[in-house]
């Protein structure tokens, strides 16, 4: 019996393991629209929550990218400690990005994900493409955090008033508490501490 496998010159059989490449199709859900989900929240509440969460999500994605950029570009005597700290902060922000996106999806919305779309929604100013001095990079991170914290506090209060405690809790527990701790760590690196002479 011949057990040799030969290459087929015909089209692959349906279900034969060949990927169906270069597929195209229309969007199945437009950004800014909602799927109806039985989660006990009204349509208008979910629309509002998704809008606010997507804005915080866009800013947080930019903050994550800033952390990674500055992590790579650190200089000077504190390079090693800042390099490690900024990477740790970036990992925490990436976890927040995922939590925000999943919350938006669980409300029936569409989470902003494409970097070009993110750049249209963010309120965080674009940094120069090149390298800045270390204190300037740290100050840039602090500014981004403050923008996010102000927006997240306002969003949490308003979303809570609309009855969406889940989204409000995410904003307070993850975005605000993590952001406040990271601001503390960053700001301490900008304190002027003269050498002690003895």
User: Which domains are present in the chain?
Assistant: 43-188 (1.20.1260.10)
- C-alpha 138/C-alpha 76 separation (Å) is 13
Q: How far is CA 138 from CA 85, 97, 142, 165, in A?
A: 12, 21, 6, 33
Per DSSP, helices labelled H in the chain are 43-73, 79-106, 115-121, 134-161, 165-170, 177-188
3-state SS assignment for residue 92:
helix
Residue 109 structure tokens: 């919305």
Q: Structure pTM?
A: 0.87
Average pLDDT for residues 4-18, to the nearest whole number? 61
Which pLDDT does position 78 carry in this prediction?
85
Q: Which token pair is 72?
A: 């790579």
Whether residue 10 has pLDDT greater than 90: no
The pLDDT value recorded for residue 76 is: 86
| DSSP secondary structure letters along 28-41 | SS-TT------SS-
Structure tokens at 37: 């989900």
Q: Does residue 13 register a pLDDT over 70? A: no
Region of residue 17 (phi > 0: left; psi between -120 and 50: alpha; otherwise: beta): left
pLDDT (0 to 100) of residue 16:
74
- Rounded to an integer, what distance in angstroms lies between the CA atom of residue 197 and that of residue 131? 33
Q: What is residue 163's three-state secondary structure?
A: coil
């Amino acid at each position: 019996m011949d057990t040799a496998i030969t290459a087929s010159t015909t089209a692959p059989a349906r279900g034969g393991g060949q990927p169906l490449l270069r597929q195209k199709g229309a969007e199945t859900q437009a950004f800014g629209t909602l799927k109806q989900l039985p989660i006990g929240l009204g349509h208008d509440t979910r629309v509002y929550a998704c809008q606010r969460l997507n804005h915080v999500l866009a800013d947080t994605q930019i903050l994550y990218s800033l952390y990674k950029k500055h992590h790579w570009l650190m200089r000077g005597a504190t390079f090693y400690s800042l390099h490690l700290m900024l990477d740790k902060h970036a990992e925490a922000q990436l976890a927040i990005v995922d939590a925000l996106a999943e919350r938006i999806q669980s409300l029936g919305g569409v989470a902003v994900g494409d970097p070009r779309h993110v750049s249209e929604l963010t309120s965080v100013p674009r940094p120069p493409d090149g390298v800045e001095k270390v204190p300037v990079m740290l100050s840039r991170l602090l500014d981004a955090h403050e923008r996010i914290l102000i927006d997240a506090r306002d969003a949490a209060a308003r979303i809570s008033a609309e009855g969406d405690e889940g989204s409000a809790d995410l904003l307070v527990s993850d975005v605000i508490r993590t952001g406040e701790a990271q601001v503390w760590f960053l700001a301490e690196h900008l304190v002027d501490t003269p050498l002690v002479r003895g």
